[in-house]
Amino acid sequence: MTDEQRRKTHFGFQTVVEEEKAARVGAVFHSVATRYDLMNDVMSMGIHRLWKRHTVQRAAVRPGMRVLDLAGGTGDLAEAFAPRVGGRGRVVVCDINASMLRVGRDRLIDEGRVGNVDFVQADAERLPYADESFDRITIAFGLRNVTRKELALAEMRRVLKAGGRLLVLEFSQPAAPLRPFYDAYSFKVLPLMGRLIAGDSDSYRYLAESIRMHPDQETLAGMMREAGLERVEYDNLTGGVVALHRGTRL
């Protein structure tokens, strides 16, 4: 592979140079930030809350733990983790997008839930934390937007404590019988919803395309093992539309 090829990546179905992807993804989430939670409810018919609840249960967070929620955006996972880690623990919401962080911080402030929650703007490929800083790391519907997933996974493994767990909740490859319906919904209904509700059909077209370009269940499991994580396994949710991958740093 040449240097020129290495600099290329996907932005949905488009091929772009790596330096462009972060800016383009940033523009997408800046556009949808204030309507992000509403659109998630509408697009998934509320099922995304069940997927996230499953993630929280699987995380098995205990009092005193330090939790890093990457691409934490509007703070819904942090809201669930904060009472579980208690006053001796800490939850860090980390997102590259300032607009998403602002929405999440404002919402948790309004709800009085920021006592043990920090908000940090940072890139998942270059985490500003020392080795072995966190007991748990979660990333929900964010990994597919990362330019170099292998670097981000290696960073997540680096900042996990020994015995700590990474949980990746992401859209994946649905079972074959679901795919025709899923494709029709993704490429026809989602952009229309984006236009009517968020005033932005292009961003939701990108989100549908980014899901198709994301590694399937087994490929992502292999990437996590290559990053040095062990005991890697995954749960298929809603027929494989979404998968929750888990890995441990031993």
CB distance 100 to 29 below 8 Å:
yes
152 labeled binding residue: no
- Write the single-letter amino acid at 1: M
For 35, counting Cβ atoms within 10 Å of its Cβ (0-12 exposed, 13-18 middle, 19+ buried), the class is middle
124 labeled binding residue: yes
Distance between CA atoms of residues 250 and 229, nearest Å: 8
Interhelix angle 47-59/36-44, nearest 10 degrees: 100
Distance between CA atoms of residues 117 and 115, nearest Å: 6
Longest dimension (CA), the chain: 52
Binding site per annotation, positions for S-adenosyl-L-methionine:
74, 95, 123-124
Binding site per annotation, positions:
74, 95, 123-124
